[in-house]
Structure 1
Amino acid sequence: MSAAEVWVVDLASSPDRLDLCASILDDSECARADRFARAADRARYVASHAALRLILADRLDLDPTEIRFATGSGGKPCLAGAARGVLAFNLSHSADRALVGLTPGAAIGVDVEVVRPLPDAERIARTHFAADEAAALAALPADARAAAFFDLWTRKEAVVKALGTGLSLPLDRFSVSLPPAAPRLLRGARSDARIEAWTLATLDLGPAYAATVAVRSADAAVSCRAWAADWPDRLG
């Protein structure tokens, strides 16, 4: 059985704290941050990637600036250098919340989304999701569909991110359960993706967010904790 830890990070930061966050990013991260047209998007990218470096540094007993990243065949980031293969990780952020998921071996994916009104949720589900998922969503009361849609979305995205396939895996190729059922994989995403070899868990971030962690391991023990709210101050 694998163990997975997920850290919930508050991304709201003052400009001076954002400067501290940017100071530990590498050149490629800084370049990507500079490509964001909206200041809010740049701020979230900088803060979330600085938090990722701090969390990894704590687990690896390294300085945050010593963390090295590489890209897997599907575009999924992984550790490089001396820490290569020591931990699998995944990052997701939406609005002022980020998730950082870690496992010592099994592939992991996390996804978080702000829950918001979505009048075309059924159309999106019919177009992009599996037929059984779209039918289950349409069968819900109208006032429950938006929240259920985002729960469903994060379940699917967490699986895709764990697999590291990116956009090459269509979302209708596999099915996950729909709330209020517990999260689980109903139909495999790939021919070698055994349903019994997955653990999906809903993360409680309050009613404003939907969040899921997916671990490619049976019966993985998942723990979820909040990262200290004053975490950017550690960079001063």
Structure 2
Amino acid sequence: MRRPAHPAQPPGVRGGERGLTTTVACRLPERAEARTFPVPLVRAPWWQQYTRVGSATVLYVDLAPDPEREWAALACLDEGELARWSRFEYSGPRRQFVLSRAAVRAVLCTELGCRNDELAFGVSPHGKPFARVRDRQADISFSVSHGGWHGLIALAAEGRLGVDIEERVERRRLDLLIEAALGEEETAEVTSATGSEQLHLFFKLWTMKEALLKAHGEGFLLDATAFEIPRAIRLGETSGTLQLPQLPGVTWRVQDVGDKRFAAALAHEVDGEASS
């Protein structure tokens, strides 16, 4: 596959060999008191704190096209990540990957007090990513999701967590998605709704289920139709707790963190709470 074109080079920056390095290395702060994450070559970072849910922090990542940001983000990636970036065939997924990964690196370097070149990533047997610092697995949980021009990063010091974001757009054959993702009662409630109400309810439930599956760590090897989001949430509440049949004894809190631009949800493993 032909290597994709590099983002347009911003003024004053000289590209290195094959356009994958710049004259300014991506050196991220060890610990920033104000929780800001400066990146070279850009006027301001493209991520910011979005919300807190219990002990978890959620950051919003702006994934709108911006060659200056994409160029700076590329300078933060390691060789394996650059190779992965080059394999994306289309510009949208390439942009989502590079901007999200550079933001994750900046956030984790700040949280873990390490340099960018000391940070690496591994994956579990089922594909759940984890951070490594100086060849040791870091004591932090994180999750990343993106859809369109929007992304979210969630992180917490303890407990597994997952985040999911989706743009609320009409889907062809929504009935097939409902059949694949929702339980019996959820399906009845979504199919009885109409118009924008149906779309909002479907995406609310879908993002919560995807966040739970990401948090669990085995992804869609689990059957999303085998459990249902608590009825109180389906009727309008924004958060609640539940237990998955595949992992009894573990309680998960799910939180609607969407806004007018997108649907989104966070799932976080919690202790000492009864399921609802």
Q: TM-score range with shorter-chain normalisation?
A: 0.7 to 0.9
> Does the 8 Å CA contact 1:121/1:145 hold for their aligned counterparts?
no
RMSD: 2.3
Alignment partner, residue 144 of structure 1: 197
> Does the 8 Å CA contact 2:243/2:249 hold for their aligned counterparts?
no
Separation in 2, partners of 1:173, 1:27: 40
> Does the 8 Å CA contact 2:242/2:253 hold for their aligned counterparts?
no
Q: Which amino acid aligns with 2:158?
A: G
Q: Percent identity?
A: 27
Change (3 A) 1:27 1:189: farther
Aligned with residue 70 of structure 1, among 122, 135, 141: 122
Aligned with residue 200 of structure 1, among 238, 249, 254: 254
Q: Would you say 1:216 and 2:269 are equivalent positions?
A: yes
> Does the 8 Å CA contact 1:108/1:215 hold for their aligned counterparts?
yes
The number of residues matched between the two structures is 217
Bigger Cα displacement from structure 2, 2-11 vs 178-187: 178-187
> Does the 8 Å CA contact 2:161/2:215 hold for their aligned counterparts?
yes
Separation in 1, partners of 2:192, 2:66: 44
Separation in 2, partners of 1:115, 1:142: 12
Q: Would you say 1:170 and 2:244 are equivalent positions?
A: no
Flag the structure with higher helix content: 1
Change (3 A) 1:193 1:22: farther
**What SS is found at the alignment partner of 2:270?**
coil
* 1:119-169 residue CA offsets vs partner (Å, 9 max, x unmatched): 532332123322222112112234311111111111000000001112311
User: Deviation at 1:187?
Assistant: 5.7
Q: Would you say 1:15 and 2:71 are equivalent positions?
A: no
Aligned with residue 41 of structure 1, among 84, 93, 97: 93
User: Deviation at 1:193?
Assistant: 5.0
> Does the 8 Å CA contact 1:4/1:101 hold for their aligned counterparts?
yes
> Does the 8 Å CA contact 2:62/2:149 hold for their aligned counterparts?
yes
Change (3 A) 1:44 1:143: closer
* 1:181-230 residue CA offsets vs partner (Å, 9 max, x unmatched): 33435562414353xx21111114x312001010011489xxxxxxxxxx
Aligned with residue 109 of structure 2, among 57, 70, 78: 57
> Does the 8 Å CA contact 2:161/2:214 hold for their aligned counterparts?
yes
Misfit runs of 4+, over 4 Å = none
Q: Which amino acid aligns with 2:70?
A: L
Separation in 1, partners of 2:249, 2:166: 25
**What SS is found at the alignment partner of 1:198?**
strand
Unmatched 5+ residue regions in structure 1? 221-236
User: Deviation at 1:95?
Assistant: 1.2
Please identify the structure whose Cα radius of gyration is greater.
2
Q: Which amino acid aligns with 1:162?
A: A
**What SS is found at the alignment partner of 1:184?**
strand
TM-score (norm 1): 0.83
- Aligned ranges 1:154-165 → 2 under 5 Å: 154-165=207-218
TM-score (norm 2): 0.72
Q: Would you say 1:106 and 2:159 are equivalent positions?
A: yes
